Structure 1
Amino acid sequence: MTLPNHFAPEPIRFAYWVPNVSGGLVISKIEQRTSWDADYNRKLAQIAEAAGFDYALTQIRFTAGYGAEFQHESVAFSHALLAVTTKLKVIAALLPGPWNPTIAAKQIATISQLTNGRIAINVVSGWFSGEFRAIGEPWLDHDERYRRSEEFIRSLRGIWTQDDFTFRGDFYRYTNYTLKPKPADPQPEIFQGGSSRAARDMAARVSDWYFTNGNTPEGIRAQVDDIQAKASANGHSVKVGVNAFVIARDTEEEARAVLQEILDNADPDAVKAFGHEVKNAGKASPEGEGNWAKSSFEDLVQYNDGFKTNLIGTPDQIAERIVALKDAGVDLALLAFLHFQEDVAYFGAHIIPKVRALEAARERRAEAA
């Protein structure tokens, strides 16, 4: 017996979306016992660390919209979470344009030094044109945004690893620049998202991690095959994370009823406005597809197609589906919840142990074979 082609021996990792933006992680008026404030999030980070989560991802938003009236800045908020934890790694979302790589490199290097290397970044190329216009930043064409993001990443890598760094790009230029102190070891991991050709090609060249929107194992496997083939041709290595919204209940019927309640209470105007914005961003790619290209109204109620991943049901069902994602080539599940503190604790107590048991059983069968 052999393992499936994509099955990795390393345990799948878990991350959660930090609710540093108001409104929770669904565009719905359903009750969400989740808060965007600092005290709630400090406690949540400690709960997640104890539950077995590896990462937390802070969001970056500069303007209100789609139920997100209030937003804390991602880098400063990440440091606040790191200050109350000891093992959790926090991924700070950065948006090229508002951020210059010089400032970002200095910020992240300092936090890395202060936290023994527990800071990472998620480079967001941008999907919200109205946000850029509101803050006076140029809105570039789709593939130009990814070209800028790639230069942003190459600049960060150079600044963090070289003295007298020199770089000549279309967006960023450096001449004999030396940053000290540099980040602590290990170097900050670099995440990015996107489903377009430009996004996948960028990941296959420069990123450590590639985030994709929620999808079925079959849909994810096609993306993994594509990106890993290109990464291998580039002599590069990249891991894959997938977005998912988790609803765990004693029965699948109970879990599906919660999903239906979320959809029944969706804010239709906000969902449609969000869908219009993100689909326009994706259609601007040369192939006319990107994240959200095939998203229905129901999919868009969760910002990143998290319902599509189908982590909705009993703990046993969810654990089995997570292992199926791993079979498809997923290295990390990026999770959102309705009531974060309670649900993250429940996930750690009732689902992660089942996932680890399934992984261990798979390895034993492979060794026996």
Structure 2
Amino acid sequence: MKYGYWSPLYGGWLRNIEDEYKQMPATFDYVKKVAQQAEQLGYDMTLIAELFLNDIKGIEEPALDAWSTAAAVAAVTEKLNILVAIRPGYYKPQTFGKMASNIDHISKGRLALNIVSAWWEEEARQYGGAFTAHDSRYARAEEFVNALEELFTKTPASFKGDYYEFENTYLLPKPLRNNHIPIFAGGESETGKQTISRICDSYVMHGGTIEEIEAKIKEMNGRRVELGKPDFETFGMAAYVICRDTEEEAQAELERITSMNPDSKAYAGYQDFTSKSQLNVKVSKEDYCVSNRGLRPNLVGTPEQIAKRILAYEEVGLNLLILQFSPQLEEMKIFAEKVKPLVEQLRNKKVEVK
């Protein structure tokens, strides 16, 4: 299992804890501290989400830009892999490809792209994004990836599609790893899964139960087989961690962060997300209180309880956890020092028994 974390661009992850930003400010100084500590603690990667508006704390609150932040994180770290969200409706492949390739060089080949079809209509209105029907957003995303491939592999590059067109375009320097930047994406609709199976290297998922994640992994690798493609390189899952010395302490923290507040500034944005996306599970209050269904994997409890659950996910094929914590610096250190070593110990015991 590899361990990543969500870069804290929004002043925290908890929609109902309004003063969370006091410990997790939406500043690059804080993002930098988290990235450098994560690297020291042995985390493998960070996911930098992209939203121009703050859907966690409300649109009136600060939200850091993803791509300038990614360049800065690349410059102040040495080993941390950097997975950054990209929403094609806001970019041209030529200008984006130039930016991404440059950041790939800054990071010395540590960049990966998380293709997001976009879901927030109000954000698109404010920031001039292309917001269309669900399936056409995936069609645009697929064409965007295909156009990037042309730019990354050919000099000069030409492309003509339904959404993008360019001719004799020079993009130099090329990405470092065989003229390719790894492509991740997540999606639950039939259209989304078809598109991802065709164009992506890895698949990322919202938090889910062990049974849900096992079924998704089997389905998505099955789709790859049908297309004559190899299995996905990585299956990643979002998860929020509450690690305490006792189960009672962990449950008390869970209760604190999931107390509903329908007057929260973030509630309107979340309603937009659930109405504009084709989700395959019913949204619960826990799914609202922590983004990306982070509580659904139930990484809540003592270090041993969490470690055992991580091993159960590993056994069904999950190989990347993308974690959220609050407050981030303190809690990610607890996880790295108490849970990660225990996962290794329990795994080794299983091997010995076998």
The reply on whether 1:346 has 2:339 as its aligned counterpart is no
Shift of 1:64: 4.1
Q: Tell me, which stretches of 5 or more residues in structure 2 are unaligned?
A: none
Alignment root-mean-square deviation, CA: 1.9
Indicate which of 43, 58, 63 corresponds to 1:53.
Answer: 43
SS in 1 for 2:296: helix
- Describe the superposition over 1:184-235 as per-residue Cα deviations: whole angstroms up to 9, x where unpaired: 1263221212221122222211112211111101011111111110012212
Contact in 2 for aligned 1:52/1:352 (Cα 8 Å): no
Matched with 2:296 is 308
Indicate which of 235, 238, 242 corresponds to 1:240.
Answer: 235
Paired letter, 1:41: V
- Describe the superposition over 1:20-66 as per-residue Cα deviations: whole angstroms up to 9, x where unpaired: 123x1120126532122111111110111111111111121112454
The reply on whether 1:224 has 2:217 as its aligned counterpart is yes
The reply on whether 1:85 has 2:80 as its aligned counterpart is no
Distance 1:39 1:257 in 2: 31
Matched with 1:206 is 199
The reply on whether 1:42 has 2:37 as its aligned counterpart is no
Indicate which of 113, 116, 132 corresponds to 1:124.
Answer: 116
Paired letter, 1:148: R
Paired letter, 2:174: K
Paired letter, 2:274: K
The reply on whether 1:143 has 2:105 as its aligned counterpart is no
The reply on whether 1:21 has 2:16 as its aligned counterpart is no
Distance 1:300 1:28 in 2: 9
Contact in 2 for aligned 1:271/1:297 (Cα 8 Å): no
- Describe the superposition over 1:107-161 as per-residue Cα deviations: whole angstroms up to 9, x where unpaired: 1111111221012221111111111112233321001111111111122222222
**TM-score, scaled to structure 1:** 0.88
Distance 2:323 2:19 in 1: 19
Distance 1:363 1:168 in 2: 53
Distance 2:270 2:260 in 1: 17
Contact in 1 for aligned 2:153/2:174 (Cα 8 Å): yes
SS in 2 for 1:307: coil
1:90–1:101: structure 2 CA closer, same or farther, 3 Å change rule? Answer: same
176-185 vs 263-272, which moves further: 263-272
Distance 1:30 1:131 in 2: 21
**TM-score, scaled to structure 2:** 0.92
1:267–1:87: structure 2 CA closer, same or farther, 3 Å change rule? Answer: farther
1:242–1:178: structure 2 CA closer, same or farther, 3 Å change rule? Answer: same
SS in 1 for 2:88: coil
- Percent same amino acid at aligned positions? 33
1:365–1:268: structure 2 CA closer, same or farther, 3 Å change rule? Answer: farther
Contact in 2 for aligned 1:21/1:59 (Cα 8 Å): no
Distance 1:261 1:245 in 2: 14
- After superposition, residues 147-186 of structure 1 pair within 5 angstroms as 147-185=139-177
Matched with 2:185 is 192
Paired letter, 2:273: V
Indicate which of 63, 71, 80 corresponds to 1:71.
Answer: 63
Contact in 1 for aligned 2:57/2:266 (Cα 8 Å): no
Q: Tell me, which stretches of 5 or more residues in structure 1 are unaligned?
A: 1-11, 283-288
Shift of 1:167: 2.9
SS in 2 for 1:144: helix
